[in-house]
Amino acid sequence: MTDLHRRKLILALGAGLVAAPAYALAEGGVEHAAEAPKPRPKRKPAPKKPAAPAPAADPHAAAGHAAEPSIPPEEAMNRLMAGNARYCAGLSAHPNANAVRRIEVAAGQRPFAVILACADSRVPPELIFDQGLGDLFVVRVAGNVVDDATLASIEYAVIHLGSTLIMALGHERCGAVKATAEALAGRGSPDDKDTRIGALAALISPAVRAVPAGAADPLDAAVSLNAAHAAAEIFAGSRPLRTRVLAGQLKIVAARYDLDDGRVTPTKSQPV
């Protein structure tokens, strides 16, 4: 190869005009260089198996405080009555009412008892039993009556939150019981016309009718009987609750609250 040819080839290579395969410059001529080995194709990574889905969380389960075991029914009853004794003596401790407790139960609740109480503004269960945040599951309705919504609320507390005691709490001079007694005697208020108040009276009337003829205080007797009737309705109306009662895992009681001295007294005749 002449010098002229060499210079032209170098210029062509430098300008990128000569395509592969590349040329090797050898003395006496231009020879094809060996082709460079082609790079091995990269293997595609094997597709990752999708992670198994996490088990669905129990929508009723809660962390923190709710992880505590349930206490026996007798212990729950003792806690209630001890709190009421403090309240009556003017020695309320106001337990579980601070910011620490508020944060603790924000993650979940584990009320040890269910209180079915009247909606009367003078009968706040958390105060009269000296309990705090997350201690009681309170269902309040005028006359502490049992209907489907009431019973469903109670079932939820026992089945999903672990409550082991249910108390149907009546109270002295209950207006709902008094109104029912007056309606049955033909002295119902005309203001109740076109209201749903009659639905309450229908649920309370069995207790009013069951008052003995010679009762010293028919209204107070009706209050106690109405609470006992509510407790019996809870027991009879729910198979899951009844099963727990018969197994000793749950207790249902009735009680009367005295507006004057603040004392809670279980009824003499316990329905269950």
Q: Classify residue 128: in a domain, yes or no.
A: yes
Task: Return the HEC string of 57-93.
Answer: CCCCCCCHHHHCCCCCHHHHHHHHHHHHHHHHCCCCC
Q: Give me 257's structure tokens.
A: 């609250």
Identify which of 150, 122, 165, 143 has the alpha carbon closest to the alpha carbon of residue 223.
143
**Does 162 map to a domain?**
yes
Please tell me whether residues 23 and 112 are part of one structural domain: no
Residues 82 and 131 reside in one and the same domain: yes
CATH number of the domain bearing residue 245: 3.40.1050.10
Tell me the per-residue pLDDT of 127-151, one tens digit each, with 9 for 90 and over.
999 999 999 999 999 999 999 999 9
Among 140, 130, 149, smallest CA distance to 167 is for 140
pLDDT class of 60 with cuts at 50, 70, 90: low
User: Per-residue pLDDT for 39 more than 80?
Assistant: no
Identify whether residues 157 and 27 lie together within a single domain.
no
Percent of the chain exceeding pLDDT 70 equals 73
Gyration radius (Cα) of the chain, Å: 40
> Which of 12 and 162 is assigned the larger pLDDT?
162
10 and 80 part of one domain: no
Q: Of 116, 170, 119, give the one whose Cα is nearest residue 142.
A: 119
15, 79: one domain: no
| Residue 18 resides in a domain | yes
* Same domain as 164, residue 77: yes
Please indicate, yes or no, if residue 254 is contained in any of the structural domains. yes
Domain assignment of residue 59, yes or no: no
Are 120 and 196 members of one domain? yes
Measure the CA angle with vertex 263, ends 168 and 100; round to 5°.
Answer: 80
**Is 48 a member of any domain?**
no
**Cα angle vertex 252, ends 68, 90, to 5°?**
75
Q: What is the pLDDT at residue 98?
A: 87
- Concatenating the DSSP letter of every residue in 97-148 gives -SHHHHHHHHT----SEEEEE---TT--HHHHTT--TTTEEEEE-GGG---H
pTM of the entire predicted model: 0.75
CB of 185 closer than 8 Å to CB of 222: no
Residues spanned by the domain of 23: 3-31
Is residue 50 a part of any domain in this protein?
no
- Write the burial class of residue 9 (CB in 10 Å: 0-12 exposed, 13-18 middle, 19+ buried): middle
Domain count, the chain: 2
Q: Is residue 251 part of a domain?
A: yes
Residues 128 and 242 in one domain: yes
- CA-wise closest residue to 259 among 136, 121, 140, 137: 121
Number of other CB atoms surrounding residue 4 within 10 Å: 8
Cα-based angle 61, 67, 57 (whole degrees, multiple of 5): 25
- Please indicate, yes or no, whether residues 25 and 78 belong to a single structural domain of this protein: no
Residues 179, 98: one domain? yes
Same domain, 25 and 123: no
pLDDT digits (tens, 9 = 90+) for 188-233: 999 998 999 999 999 999 999 999 999 999 999 999 999 999 999 9
Residue 160 and residue 241 in one domain: yes
